[in-house]
Amino acid sequence: MLPLIGWMLRVITHKRATQESALPTYQPKIHNYTDTQRTWGHDYNFTPRDNGIYAQISGWSDERIRPGDFILMSARDNPCGVRYRVLKIEYCNDSSDMFFAETCFYKRTSEEQMADMLGIQGNSKSWVKVNDS
Protein backbone atom coordinates (compact mmCIF):
# COMPACT_ATOMS: atom_id res chain seq x y z
CA MET A 1 0.00 0.00 0.00
CA LEU A 2 2.84 2.41 0.85
CA PRO A 3 4.48 2.19 -2.61
CA LEU A 4 1.09 2.95 -4.18
CA ILE A 5 0.73 6.13 -2.09
CA GLY A 6 4.26 7.20 -3.05
CA TRP A 7 3.47 6.62 -6.72
CA MET A 8 0.22 8.62 -6.46
CA LEU A 9 2.04 11.55 -4.84
CA ARG A 10 4.68 11.52 -7.61
CA VAL A 11 1.95 11.50 -10.29
CA ILE A 12 0.05 14.37 -8.63
CA THR A 13 3.26 16.40 -8.14
CA HIS A 14 4.34 15.81 -11.75
CA LYS A 15 0.88 16.70 -13.08
CA ARG A 16 0.81 19.92 -11.03
CA ALA A 17 4.34 20.92 -12.11
CA THR A 18 3.49 20.23 -15.77
CA GLN A 19 0.31 22.33 -15.60
CA GLU A 20 2.06 25.19 -13.79
CA SER A 21 4.94 25.32 -16.28
CA ALA A 22 2.41 26.41 -18.92
CA LEU A 23 1.20 29.38 -16.81
CA PRO A 24 2.16 32.97 -17.69
CA THR A 25 5.16 34.50 -15.96
CA TYR A 26 3.56 37.79 -14.78
CA GLN A 27 3.18 38.64 -11.05
CA PRO A 28 0.02 36.73 -10.03
CA LYS A 29 -2.77 38.46 -8.11
CA ILE A 30 -4.65 37.12 -5.09
CA HIS A 31 -8.43 37.37 -5.44
CA ASN A 32 -10.08 37.39 -2.00
CA TYR A 33 -13.25 35.30 -1.82
CA THR A 34 -13.22 34.71 1.96
CA ASP A 35 -16.57 34.96 3.76
CA THR A 36 -16.06 38.65 4.60
CA GLN A 37 -15.50 39.51 0.90
CA ARG A 38 -18.35 37.49 -0.63
CA THR A 39 -20.94 39.92 -2.00
CA TRP A 40 -23.36 40.29 -4.90
CA GLY A 41 -21.23 40.04 -8.06
CA HIS A 42 -18.23 38.69 -6.11
CA ASP A 43 -19.01 35.09 -5.11
CA TYR A 44 -18.14 31.51 -6.07
CA ASN A 45 -19.17 27.85 -6.08
CA PHE A 46 -16.48 25.31 -5.18
CA THR A 47 -16.44 21.69 -6.44
CA PRO A 48 -13.40 19.68 -5.20
CA ARG A 49 -11.75 16.84 -7.15
CA ASP A 50 -9.00 14.36 -6.19
CA ASN A 51 -9.54 14.90 -2.44
CA GLY A 52 -9.30 18.69 -2.78
CA ILE A 53 -5.99 18.75 -4.69
CA TYR A 54 -7.88 20.14 -7.70
CA ALA A 55 -11.18 22.02 -7.87
CA GLN A 56 -13.64 23.47 -10.35
CA ILE A 57 -14.57 26.97 -9.23
CA SER A 58 -17.38 28.87 -10.88
CA GLY A 59 -18.27 32.35 -9.83
CA TRP A 60 -18.56 36.05 -10.50
CA SER A 61 -15.74 38.54 -10.30
CA ASP A 62 -15.66 42.31 -10.56
CA GLU A 63 -11.95 42.03 -11.44
CA ARG A 64 -10.55 39.88 -14.28
CA ILE A 65 -8.93 36.64 -13.04
CA ARG A 66 -6.14 35.18 -15.21
CA PRO A 67 -4.35 31.82 -15.28
CA GLY A 68 -1.63 31.88 -12.62
CA ASP A 69 -3.65 34.06 -10.23
CA PHE A 70 -4.73 32.77 -6.81
CA ILE A 71 -8.23 32.51 -5.35
CA LEU A 72 -8.33 32.78 -1.56
CA MET A 73 -11.37 31.13 0.08
CA SER A 74 -12.61 30.53 3.62
CA ALA A 75 -12.17 27.11 5.22
CA ARG A 76 -13.75 25.62 8.34
CA ASP A 77 -10.48 24.26 9.72
CA ASN A 78 -8.26 27.21 8.68
CA PRO A 79 -9.26 30.72 9.79
CA CYS A 80 -6.76 32.22 7.32
CA GLY A 81 -8.45 30.43 4.42
CA VAL A 82 -7.08 28.26 1.65
CA ARG A 83 -5.53 29.23 -1.65
CA TYR A 84 -6.05 27.68 -5.08
CA ARG A 85 -4.03 28.60 -8.18
CA VAL A 86 -5.95 29.15 -11.41
CA LEU A 87 -4.72 26.76 -14.11
CA LYS A 88 -7.37 27.56 -16.72
CA ILE A 89 -10.27 30.02 -16.77
CA GLU A 90 -13.12 30.75 -19.15
CA TYR A 91 -15.52 33.69 -18.99
CA CYS A 92 -19.13 33.62 -20.16
CA ASN A 93 -20.58 35.97 -22.78
CA ASP A 94 -23.71 36.59 -20.73
CA SER A 95 -23.03 37.60 -17.96
CA SER A 96 -19.47 38.68 -18.76
CA ASP A 97 -18.34 38.65 -15.11
CA MET A 98 -19.17 34.91 -14.68
CA PHE A 99 -16.26 32.48 -14.90
CA PHE A 100 -15.42 28.77 -14.78
CA ALA A 101 -11.92 27.96 -13.51
CA GLU A 102 -9.82 24.81 -13.16
CA THR A 103 -7.63 25.22 -10.07
CA CYS A 104 -5.18 23.34 -7.87
CA PHE A 105 -4.53 23.64 -4.14
CA TYR A 106 -1.51 25.79 -3.34
CA LYS A 107 -0.21 25.65 0.23
CA ARG A 108 0.70 29.03 1.74
CA THR A 109 3.65 29.73 4.00
CA SER A 110 2.95 31.34 7.39
CA GLU A 111 4.38 34.60 5.96
CA GLU A 112 1.90 34.48 3.08
CA GLN A 113 -0.99 33.73 5.45
CA MET A 114 -0.11 36.79 7.54
CA ALA A 115 0.18 38.97 4.42
CA ASP A 116 -3.23 37.76 3.20
CA MET A 117 -4.78 38.57 6.60
CA LEU A 118 -3.33 42.09 6.40
CA GLY A 119 -4.47 42.56 2.79
CA ILE A 120 -0.93 42.63 1.38
CA GLN A 121 0.08 40.86 -1.80
CA GLY A 122 3.44 39.90 -3.25
CA ASN A 123 6.61 38.51 -1.78
CA SER A 124 8.90 39.79 0.96
CA LYS A 125 10.84 41.93 -1.53
CA SER A 126 7.88 43.66 -3.16
CA TRP A 127 4.66 43.98 -1.14
CA VAL A 128 1.63 45.33 -2.98
CA LYS A 129 -1.59 46.38 -1.20
CA VAL A 130 -4.65 44.42 -2.37
CA ASN A 131 -7.75 46.46 -3.22
CA ASP A 132 -10.75 45.48 -1.13
CA SER A 133 -13.68 44.79 -3.41
How far, in Å, CA of 55 to CA of 85, rounded?
A: 10
Rg of the chain over Cα atoms, rounded to whole angstroms, equals 15
Q: What is the pLDDT of residue 74?
A: 85
Q: What is the pLDDT of residue 124?
A: 38
Pairwise pLDDT comparison (64 vs 133), residue with the higher score: 64
- Report yes or no on 79 lying in a domain: yes
Q: How many domains does the chain have?
A: 1
**What pLDDT digit, counting tens, does each position of 35-61 carry?**
877 788 888 999 999 999 999 999 998
Q: Quickly state the pLDDT bin for 122 (edges 50, 70, 90).
A: low
- Report yes or no on 12 lying in a domain: no
Q: What domain range is 111 assigned to? A: 25-129
- Report yes or no on 7 lying in a domain: no
Alpha helices (H) in the chain, listed in sequence order: 2-21, 110-118
- Report yes or no on 4 lying in a domain: no
Which residues have C-beta within 8 Å of that of residue 8, sequence separation ≥ 6? Answer: none
Query: For the domain that residue 77 is a member of, what is the CATH number?
Result: 2.30.130.30
Question: Read out DSSP for 17-33?
Answer: HHHHHTS--S---EEEE
At residue 112, what are phi and psi to the nearest 5 degrees?
-70, -35
- Report yes or no on 20 lying in a domain: no
**What pLDDT digit, counting tens, does each position of 61-116 carry?**
888 999 999 999 888 777 677 899 999 999 998 888 899 999 999 887 877 777 76
Q: Choose among 80, 85, 65, 78: nearest CA to 17.
A: 85
- Report yes or no on 17 lying in a domain: no
Q: What is the pLDDT of residue 127?
A: 38
